[in-house]
Amino acid sequence: MKVPVSITINGRVCEHEVEPRTLLVHFIRDLAGLTGTKVGCDTSQCGSCTVLIDGVSAKSCTTLAAQADGAGITTIEGLGDGEQLHPLQESFWNKHGLQCGFCTPGMILASHELLRTNASPSEAEIRHGLEGNLCRCTGYENIVRAVRDAAGAMAQE
């Protein structure tokens, strides 16, 4: 039996009747049409599906859409303000924190969570905070630089 689900994604209400097994990531990608959020694994380990649920990071591949009924979701598409990139997006760009870009939406939202809980993290804290996000391209060095850069930029705001 399908269940009604209403989720506000990046400020826009999305209502659909879904099979209970529908994962939040599929609701976001297939029903809301926002394909910035990626699926990189079947085992809840890669972090490329990371979004914010009511402001707090979560793996959208390990959450049922029905569990998020009534919640507010932020995806990579909703992080910036129109044409204005979020400081994290700006820093990932400036510091070359990405190559193929597949991990980047999840990496940026996981970085958002890190800076929400720790506004000026050390290098070790950045690595610990991003432990749940895998990148097969960059070797992580520039990702760490990007997060540091963003923390600095956000502190000045």
Ligand X SMILES: Cc1cc2nc3c(=O)[nH]c(=O)nc-3n(C[C@H](O)[C@H](O)[C@H](O)COP(=O)(O)OP(=O)(O)OC[C@H]3O[C@@H](n4cnc5c(N)ncnc54)[C@H](O)[C@@H]3O)c2cc1C
Q: Point out which residues bind ligand FES (CB under 6 A).
A: 39-41, 44-49, 59, 61, 98-104, 135-138
Q: Which is nearer to ligand X, 25 or 79 (CB)?
A: 25
> Is 44 one of the binding residues for ligand X (CB under 6 A)?
yes
State how far the Cα of 111 lies from the Cα of 92, in Å rounded to an integer. Answer: 10
State how far the Cα of 149 lies from the Cα of 66, in Å rounded to an integer. Answer: 37
Q: How far is the CB of 106 from another protein (least distance, A)?
A: 9
Strands (E), the chain: 3-9, 12-18, 50-53, 56-59, 72-74
Number of neighbouring beta carbons within 10 Å of residue 131: 9
Q: How far is the CB of 85 from ligand X (least distance, A)?
A: 29
Number of neighbouring beta carbons within 10 Å of residue 6: 12
Closest-by-Cβ residue to ligand X is: 44
Give the interface with another protein as residue ranges (CB under 8 A): 1, 3, 19-21, 23, 42-45, 47, 50, 56-59, 61-64, 66-67, 110, 113-114, 117, 129, 131-133
